[in-house]
Amino acid sequence: MDTSVIESISPLAAELRSENPDCYLATLFAPAAERRSLIALYALDNELARIQRVVSEPMAGLIRLQWWDEVIDGFERDKRVFHPVVAELKRAVAVDGLDINCLKRAIDGRRRPFEADQPPDIIAFERYLKTVGGSIASAAAALLGITNPVSLAVAERVAVTRVVLEQVSVVEHADAARSLWLPLAWGNQNDGDQKVAWEAETSSNRLIIHQLAELGLSELAKGRAEQVSIKRPQLSAFFPATLAGLRLKNRLRKERLNTLSNGAAVLAWSWLRGRF
């Protein structure tokens, strides 16, 4: 598929392609009518994820998230905000019915690392991952006409894989390690210091990445086992998790994925099979 076609549909496409090639590729397999709104949705997710990567002070992170929350509340009041992502989100809500509640749930989930200490256990951590990833996946699934509760639940489950990959990236960059929000028990493996910044290439860093990858791949496998019949035009909502799973496997093998070439081939084969 000629990627220039999709870039002519949305002003956010080029940036999404650069910052989140997995989600960009997934939109290529969506019906043309929904692509622009899907790009806007994933662009918002990028904006929210970036806050955790670049902000070191909790209050600063909460202020940025509150700004997005108020912006979305302002859609109903027709409040004008000059921001490219905001403009496209507003259009997606008005034209394609993008679910505002899902957007607000995504923002609320992103507050957790700035509001609380490390999650006490893996259950709390998984709940955070599902809130953050599942809200975006639910919105994407709804845009593509998925209404079956089982399919929606699967979309939320496998979306954990994508957020796990995001956390792996944070772990891999020592300068952003201060933003880690991982189960307390994992931090205790680092001489009991739950706030420690895991340095790249250390044994603790590799162990954290391994644990994250195993968690993400497990959720993807469970989702695939539960999969019900999904129409090909709707597979796009699941495809970011497909590529995230492939990336996590490559992390464990210490390999890298060229998303725009290898990833496109993987998704094309998955689309032909009607699977994710």
Distance CA 264, CA 66 (A): 36
Distance CA 85, CA 64 (A): 14
Percentage of residues in the chain with pLDDT exceeding 70?
Answer: 85
Q: 114-159: per-residue pLDDT in tens?
A: 987 888 889 999 999 999 999 999 999 999 999 999 999 999 999 9
Distance CA 211, CA 5 (A): 39
Domains and CATH numbers, the chain: 12-273 (1.10.600.10)
Torsion on CA atoms 262, 177, 48, 151, rounded to nearest 10: 50
C-alpha distances out from residue 59 to 63, 177, 184, Å: 6, 17, 22
C-alpha distances out from residue 80 to 44, 91, 137, 272, Å: 17, 12, 27, 43
Q: 77-95: per-residue pLDDT in tens?
A: 766 778 899 999 999 999 9
- Six-digit token string for 160: 């954990």
Rounded to two decimals, the pTM is 0.89
Distance CA 192, CA 187 (A): 6
Q: 151-190: per-residue pLDDT in tens?
A: 999 999 999 999 999 988 888 775 544 557 888 777 555 4
Mean of pLDDT over the chain:
86
Contact between residue 158 and residue 220 where contact means Cβ atoms under 8 Å apart: yes
Residue with tokens 């509340």: 73
10 Å CB burial of residue 197 (0-12, 13-18, 19+) is: middle
17: Cα within 13 Å, side-chain hemisphere: 15
**pLDDT-derived band of residue 200, with 50, 70 and 90 as boundaries?**
very low
Over residues 247-272, the mean pLDDT reads: 82
Cα dihedral sign, 188-192-193-194:
positive
pLDDT at 5: 62
The answer to whether residue 203 scores a pLDDT higher than 70 is: no
Percentage of residues in the chain with pLDDT exceeding 90?
Answer: 63
